[in-house]
């Protein structure tokens, strides 16, 4: 079985910068980048190393921003999760209260308030006429 070799591709500066941004800012792995761009992981790794060597501060800032934004995102998701849990609790309490209120009203007035399954209004009946 012959091992297929990937053709060497020269990437433009824009493509290299896009790879770097995807890796540092969005957390895309080097192996995933290699797959996306149709090249070897070693090529992507060299691009990352070269970028870091040529752009010390920028690379570090990008790494730091990626970590910071990720931790901020996690905190925001935790806050959202807590808010949603509170809303769910309140809605559950409201539904339970409604059920209890309907049960009490049905018992007090002796009428069925909840519509039973399979029942419907008869055609032509508007509910305004009373038969004796």
Query: Could you give the CA distance from residue 106 to residue 99 in angstroms, rounded to a whole number?
Result: 11
* 119 in any annotated domain: no
- Give per-residue pLDDT as tens, 62-83: 666 666 677 788 888 999 999 9
* 80 in any annotated domain: yes
* 44 in any annotated domain: yes
- Give per-residue pLDDT as tens, 13-70: 888 888 888 887 788 899 999 999 999 999 999 988 888 777 765 665 666 666 667 7
Q: What is the CATH number for 19?
A: 1.10.10
69 touches 51 (CB < 8 A): no
Structural domain tally of the chain? 2
The CB-side HSE value for 126 (13 A sphere, CA atoms) comes to: 2
Kindly report the pTM of this predicted structure.
0.41
Boundaries of domain holding 41: 10-54
My answer on whether 45 and 77 are in the same domain is no
CA 74 to chain centre: 12
């Amino acid at each position: 079985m012959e091992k297929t070799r990937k053709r060497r591709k020269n990437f433009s500066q824009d493509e290299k910068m896009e790879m770097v941004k995807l890796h540092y800012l969005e957390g895309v792995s080097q192996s995933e980048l290699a797959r996306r761009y149709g090249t070897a992981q070693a090529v992507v790794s060299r691009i990352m190393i070269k970028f870091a060597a040529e752009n010390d501060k920028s690379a570090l800032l990008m790494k730091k921003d990626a970590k910071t934004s990720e931790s901020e995102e996690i905190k925001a998701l935790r806050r959202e999760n807590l808010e949603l849990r509170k809303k769910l609790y309140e809605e559950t309490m409201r539904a339970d209260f409604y059920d209890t209120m309907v049960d009490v009203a049905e018992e007090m007035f002796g009428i069925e308030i909840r519509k039973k399954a399979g029942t419907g209004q008869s055609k032509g009946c508007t509910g305004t006429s009373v038969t004796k």
